[in-house]
Amino acid sequence: MTRPFQLPNDVLLLVGEQLDNHADRWNLIFISQRFHDLFLSLVYRTVRLNHWRDAYSFICAITKRPSLARVVRELDLSRWRKESIPQADWDVLQRSSILKGRLEVSSYSQDETAQWVEHLAQGRGDTWSALMLPLLTQLWQLHLVYSIPSICLNRIMQRAINNERPFQSQPAFQHLSKVSLHHREDLDRPTAHVNAGNGSHEDQSALLLSFFQLPSMRSVFANSVVDPTSISIVPDLETEETEQVSVARSSITEIDLRRSSGNRGMDALIATCADLKSFKYQHSDSHLTSHGYQPTAFYRSLTRSKRSLQSLWLDHYGDHYPFTSAGLNQTHDEWFGSLADFSALRELRIRLANLLDIRYQSEPISPLINSLPGSLEILYIEGCEERHMGMLVSQLRTVIRNRRSQFPHLRCLNIEGSFRNASADELGDTSASAPEPADDTIKPKIVQAAEPLHEDCASAGLELHVYDRTFSQKPH
């Protein structure tokens, strides 16, 4: 009798790795004992925790079987649901030898232990993640939610940087390359907003900066970041300084900051990056300490990276209030400055008012052709007003005419603004007997103004897209 054919384990693992759905991978381990032993490590490669029950079960599993902790490559708590642990469940957890053991190695004093216990009982994702991070020595990616203040997570990260207990046996996070930090206001303590100007943002900055000190870090995403102001000024890398200042250099090459406020151009972050390749920033005036979007501050910061920066997004759909903590908000329409010396820049996404110095006149003082780098491939211009469309078309046509000699890599132009036809309701027309659907087409004036540019792009083999902010419609 012939034995049934069995696929080798290596082949089965390759098949299992093609399953993107975590539930499908989970089901594999229940097929047979062989599949359980074979695919269990695959299930633990990517771990998503949404609740304190998930977190406690996970900690128990990797404590009992350390080999599982070593296969975890990605930890994701970005969809965490905050919920205080019912007293009956918390009484059971406090008797758990595993939880007691984790607290013993993570806490340095009785007062600190009491703080850990309080935050764990509140179901805070940042505290539960801080408890498990010392066990995950082979992490590549980390996606965390945090609240303000985030005391326990901050504490663990500082101890990781300093190689202190519970990280004294081996350097921490030697393989971690990608981190996303999601601040969620619904997770904050009620007093956090009241004390927003009294240390909470400094704690937030300390958490973010701790990841900049890890050796393998390459990519950082964070939201609601307020410009760090509590670290020492970094010397200008373009000039020789007589006084030597010791500055930790970061291996991070990608920074993506959403709904943030950079009063100093995020200089404290950018200055640490020796080889920054991508910087994306979305401004928000919703932070109490915001002084408004200040393009010139970012220009000063990013000048350090002008030989390495390949992708730059500035203020993508940012929020600008008429007034900020500094008073009347007039800074967001400032000219960023010439990008001609950014010799590696391939992709640029920027507001028209920051790309060209047109704040007090209809024509720019410095023409666009003198402000763009020769390396540019994709240009995306946001916030174009209808009154500036003719000027912008003229400036871009000059760029295209000089494309072969000055911009040989340029292949795509994008213009975005409020270009759609207004609906009857928006115009205040109430005479219609029945509501009319909104007209989501581009205004004929805009299409007509863009037509010469469209012809030039077609002749040069370039893509041209004209979008409306609401509907992202392209003219035909």
User: Cβ atoms within 10 A of the Cβ of 471, count?
Assistant: 14
Residues 65 and 128 in one domain: yes
Interatomic CA distance for residues 213 and 223, integer angstroms = 19
Q: Taking Cα atoms as reference points, which of 93, 96, 162, 105 lies closest to residue 130? A: 105
Residues 67 and 210 in one domain: yes
Residues 20 and 91 in one domain: no
Q: Domain for residue 90, yes or no?
A: yes
The one-letter amino acid at 123:
G
What pLDDT, on the 0 to 100 scale, is given for residue 315? 87
Q: Domain for residue 320, yes or no?
A: no
The answer to whether 417 and 469 have CB atoms below 8 angstroms apart is yes
Interatomic CA distance for residues 180 and 143, integer angstroms = 5
Mean pLDDT taken over the chain = 83
Q: What spatial distance separates the first Cα and last Cα of the chain, rounded to whole Å?
A: 70
What interhelical angle do 33-43 and 9-17 show, nearest 10? 50
Q: Domain for residue 161, yes or no?
A: yes
Res 475 pLDDT > 90:
no
Residues 26 and 61 in one domain: no
Residues 30 and 51 in one domain: no
Residues 181 and 127 in one domain: yes
Res 188 pLDDT > 90:
no
The pLDDT confidence band at residue 198, using thresholds 50, 70 and 90, is: very low
What pLDDT, on the 0 to 100 scale, is given for residue 22? 56
Res 25 pLDDT > 90:
no
Interatomic CA distance for residues 305 and 279, integer angstroms = 10
Residues 101 and 156 in one domain: yes
- Rg (alpha carbons) of the chain, rounded to whole number: 27
Which residues in 284-421 belong to E strands, given as ranges? 311-314, 323-324, 327-328, 347-351, 378-384, 412-417
What pLDDT, on the 0 to 100 scale, is given for residue 324? 76
> Which class for 260: exposed (0-12), middle (13-18), buried (19 or more C-beta within 10 A)?
buried
Res 238 pLDDT > 70:
no
C-alpha distance from residue 422 to each of 75, 97, 428, 471 (Å): 46, 65, 10, 12
Residues 37 and 116 in one domain: no
Q: Domain for residue 366, yes or no?
A: no
Q: What is the pLDDT of residues 273-327, one digit of tens each?
A: 999 999 999 999 888 888 889 999 999 999 999 999 999 999 888 888 777 777 7
Q: What is the mean pLDDT of residues 344-365?
A: 91
The pLDDT confidence band at residue 184, using thresholds 50, 70 and 90, is: confident
Residues 25 and 88 in one domain: no
Degrees (nearest 5) of the Cα angle 222, 43, 215?
40
Using the structure block, give the residue that is written with the tokens 């205004």: 443
User: For residue 96, which phi and psi values (nearest 5 degrees)?
Assistant: -70, 125
Q: How many domains does the structure of the chain reveal?
A: 2
Residues 82 and 209 in one domain: yes
Contacts of 253 (CB under 8 A, 6+ apart): 218, 219, 273, 275, 276, 277, 278
What pLDDT, on the 0 to 100 scale, is given for residue 247? 45
User: For residue 258, which phi and psi values (nearest 5 degrees)?
Assistant: -110, 145
Interatomic CA distance for residues 20 and 163, integer angstroms = 35
User: Cβ atoms within 10 A of the Cβ of 149, count?
Assistant: 21
Single pTM value for the model: 0.84
Tokens of 307: 């030989």
Residues 26 and 158 in one domain: no
Find the domain containing 28 and state its range.
9-43
Specify which residues 378 forms β-bridges with.
347, 412
Interatomic CA distance for residues 311 and 278, integer angstroms = 5
Residues 37 and 70 in one domain: no
Contacts of 164 (CB under 8 A, 6+ apart): none
Q: Domain for residue 57, yes or no?
A: yes
The answer to whether 382 and 361 have CB atoms below 8 angstroms apart is no
Res 157 pLDDT > 60:
yes
Q: Domain for residue 105, yes or no?
A: yes
Contacts of 88 (CB under 8 A, 6+ apart): none
Using the structure block, give the residue that is written with the tokens 């932070």: 287
Interatomic CA distance for residues 221 and 242, integer angstroms = 35
Res 171 pLDDT > 90:
no
Q: Domain for residue 129, yes or no?
A: yes
Q: Domain for residue 180, yes or no?
A: yes
Q: Taking Cα atoms as reference points, which of 327, 259, 250, 246 lies closest to residue 287? A: 259
Q: Taking Cα atoms as reference points, which of 43, 32, 42 lies closest to residue 7? A: 32
Strand arrangement of the beta sheet that strand 278-283 belongs to: 46-48, 74-76, 141-146, 178-183, 219-223, 254-260, 278-283, 311-314, 347-351, 378-384, 412-417, 463-468
